[in-house]
Amino acid sequence: MLFLLSYYYYLHTIAHSNFMNKQHLNNMTSSPHSFFPFASDIMIGGGGEGGGAISRRVFSLHDVQILEIFLAIAVFIVIHTLRQRKYYGLPVWPFVGMLPSLIFGLRQNLYEWLTEITNRQNGTFHFKGPWFSNLQCVVTSDPRNLEHLLKAKFSNFPKGGYFRNTLKDLLGDGIFNADNETWSRQRKTASIEFHSARFRQLTAESLFELVHKRLLPVLEESQKNSLPIDLQDVLLRMTFDNVCMIAFGVDPGCLSLGLPEIPFARAFEKATEATVLRFVTPTCIWQTMRYLNLGPEKELKESITGVNKFADEVIRTRKKELALQDENSKERSDLLTVFMRLKDEKGQPFSDKFLRDICVNFILAGRDTSSVALSWFFWLIDQHPEIEQKILAEIGRIIREREVADIAGARGLISFNPEEIKKMDYLHAAISEALRLYPSVPVDHKERLNSTLSSRFYILNKLTGCEDDVFPDGTVLKKGTKVIYAIYSMGRMEAIWGKDCREYKPERWLRDGRFMSESAYKFTAFNGGPRLCLGKDFAYYQMKFAAASILLRYHVKVVNNHPAEPKLALTMYMKHGLKVNLIRRDEAELHKFLRVRY
Ligand code: HEM
């Protein structure tokens, strides 16, 4: 670019000097005022014959030349920048790179903005941030690249130092924030636990209690009072209580009549919000604020203290409880107890800090992902009554298959067992379709492994897998490159889902009425490869159980003109919540769908 600029400047100067020489010759034979009209305008003293006027004139001409050069450079930069859009997808401005476009994107729906660019760039583009920032990254929504990143070259793409440092205060060394050994040890242990019969029983029991004794009474209260309710808030409370039971083995009680404020839940929410701010603040600024204990960093510190206070209390109580336990005591199967029984690589029990990190990470993972997915699901169902009817028909068929068809009279008691939930293929498809369009984690992040060796040590870099990498689409990834994979955009790509990619169509997941799963690199809502979401099966069970239990009893009507847009956060909350009115299904309606053949 510099070369082009110099060349342009050189041509421009030659052209200009020719022009000046010609004009100068003309000037010898005509009035001094016609020499350069603009110059004559700015001459002080009317352009007399004296030497002072001539020097002023030369000075003015010089000024104008400089101005012209700057103007030419500016025009050149603008043209060059705009032409770069063709190649990079966005204009690349000197010094600030693509930042102006990002600011524009942040003012609208950022995820739609990303979708538009990735589509235009055939799935991948380099985001060039300001030269002084750490915003440089590659953004991709190409399934081939995702398979490369998440599976084929998994060990080359850890979460990385940037992610870890930003989340360190809240997540410590927990599974979400860990790489290598620290990650794999937690993953193995938790994976065994999550697939055990004991865990399945714990989750089924805790969910039954939560839905029947807490969720449905809260909804019934709102229905009786004919007051709209924020369904997203209610569902967030339910999943928070549920995941705390799984991680800590305690129930904080967020979901109960009156929807009380629970200090631990509040502290957790504030801590995640303040942590998210770090991702949009230059590292040196948030680190300085942290050091000086100012602004959001002060708030973060206070809320983490709140989270730790709760965690420390639970850990202390559990240790006492386990010490007093005899063979006849009922075995607990929450993650805290499971990890407390294990030893680290030196044969020592895990430290309280590590136990706290493990639990906090699981709470973060399971706290809001299922609830926001369910919120978008109910919003979509409200717009597609025909799909609601199909879900009801499926629920009706499953109830009819029972030995004793305990239909409408016993409606208040109808509950679904795990086998029945498993049979709900249409509901499974409807929830997956909601997650395709509104994935709970809309963008995720990896980092190309950074070598401590200089690139001169080619063979060592090659042996340690630290040489530059290349995506299947040809994108070169230098060491340390941050990669953002745009999960939201993937759900809206014609190349992946066809022309109707923006339509809500559960049928696309069904073959002969049975749910057919998709490749995790096309449908990446639950991530893929070795870091596939550990709670996926549990999350589907939880979402299907809650959705079927609600839909069986109520028609969920979204309040008229309720704005539905995503909030910019780690998880895709509905920015304005989901205000709904609940309309109780009467006996006639229930009988109707319990008779309908699906
Ligand atoms: C709709 C519900 C859910 C969705 C869409 C979802 C999605 C995801 C995604 C995208 C990741 C990868 C995150 C990353 O590595 O940056 C992930 C990881 C994880 N999820 Fe989920 N999740 C859901 C529910 C749950 C639940 C309910 C739990 C636990 C109770 C859970 C536990 C985990 C854990 C432990 C990881 C970390 C896995 C690892 O790094 O090895 N998830 N999930």
pLDDT of residue 334: 87
Cβ–ligand 1 distance for 442 under 6 Å, the answer no
When pLDDT is averaged across residues 333-354 and rounded to a whole number, the result is 87
Cβ–ligand 1 distance for 174 under 6 Å, the answer no
Cβ–ligand 1 distance for 186 under 6 Å, the answer no
Q: ipTM of this complex > 0.85?
A: yes
When pLDDT is averaged across residues 67-72 and rounded to a whole number, the result is 85
Confidence of residue 183 (pLDDT cuts 50, 70, 90): very high
Is residue 70's pLDDT more than 60?
yes
For residue 464, give the nearest of 453, 475, 478 by alpha carbon.
453
122-147 pLDDT per residue, tens: 999 999 888 777 778 999 999 999 99
Ligand 1 atom with the shortest distance to the CA of 186 = 41
Cβ–ligand 1 distance for 158 under 6 Å, the answer no
Inter-helix orientation angle 536-553/197-209, to 10°: 30
Cβ–ligand 1 distance for 187 under 6 Å, the answer yes
10-20 pLDDT per residue, tens: 444 444 444 44
pLDDT of residue 202: 87
Domain 172-443+486-594, architecture per CATH: Orthogonal Bundle (1.10)
When pLDDT is averaged across residues 187-214 and rounded to a whole number, the result is 91
pLDDT of residue 147: 98
Cα of 333 to ligand 1 centre, how many Å? Answer: 20
194-205 pLDDT per residue, tens: 888 888 888 899
Ligand 1 atom with the shortest distance to the CA of 175 = 40
Pocket test for ligand 1, best of 369, 485, 541, 545 (most atoms within 8 A of CB): 369
For residue 536, give the nearest of 547, 548, 524 by alpha carbon.
524
> For residues 207 and 545, is the Cβ–Cβ distance under 8 A?
yes
Contacts of residue 305, defined as CB under 8 A and 6 or more positions apart, other chains included, come to 267
pLDDT of residue 451: 59
Confidence of residue 193 (pLDDT cuts 50, 70, 90): confident
pLDDT of residue 35: 32
219-243 pLDDT per residue, tens: 999 999 999 999 999 999 999 999 9
Is 466 one of the annotated binding-site residues?
A: no
Cα of 555 to ligand 1 centre, how many Å? Answer: 30
Fill in the DSSP letter of residue 125: E
pLDDT of residue 47: 42
Cβ–ligand 1 distance for 436 under 6 Å, the answer no
pLDDT of residue 155: 93
pLDDT of residue 453: 47
**The model's pTM:** 0.84
Better pLDDT: 25 or 499: 499
Name which of 64-68, 131-135, 360-364, 575-579 the model is least confident about.
Answer: 131-135
Question: CA-CA distance, 571 to 589, in Å (whole number)?
Answer: 36
Cβ–ligand 1 distance for 444 under 6 Å, the answer yes
pLDDT of residue 28: 39
HSE on the CB side for 14, CA within 13 Å?
5
Question: CA-CA distance, 520 to 508, in Å (whole number)?
Answer: 16
pLDDT of residue 134: 75
Cβ–ligand 1 distance for 362 under 6 Å, the answer yes
Cα of 568 to ligand 1 centre, how many Å? Answer: 18
pLDDT of residue 55: 54
Cα of 429 to ligand 1 centre, how many Å? Answer: 19
Mean pLDDT (the chain) is 84
Ligand 1 atom with the shortest distance to the CA of 243 = 30
pLDDT of residue 8: 44
pLDDT of residue 65: 81
When pLDDT is averaged across residues 103-126 and rounded to a whole number, the result is 91
% of the chain with per-residue pLDDT over 90:
56
Cβ–ligand 1 distance for 538 under 6 Å, the answer yes
- Token pair of 245 as six digits: 């039971």
pLDDT of residue 77: 75
Tell me how far CA of residue 45 lies from CA of 24, 27, 48, 385, 404, in angstroms: 21, 19, 7, 83, 109
Question: CA-CA distance, 172 to 353, in Å (whole number)?
Answer: 8
DSSP string over 432-496: HHHHHHS-SS-EEEEEPPPPSS-TT-HHHHHHTT-S-EE-TTS-EE-TT-EEEEEHHHHTT-HHH
pLDDT of residue 64: 79
pLDDT of residue 78: 77
* Residue written as token pair 């000024």: 63
Q: Please state the domain extents for the chain.
A: 172-443+486-594
Helix H or strand E segment including 162: helix 160-171
258-288 pLDDT per residue, tens: 999 999 889 988 999 899 888 878 788 899 9
Identify any residues that bridge with 482 across adjacent strands, giving them in sequence order.
Answer: 447
When pLDDT is averaged across residues 88-102 and rounded to a whole number, the result is 86
- The dihedral over CA atoms of 154, 157, 163, 164, expressed in degrees to the nearest 10, equals 70
- Nearest-CA residue for atom 9 of ligand 1: 526
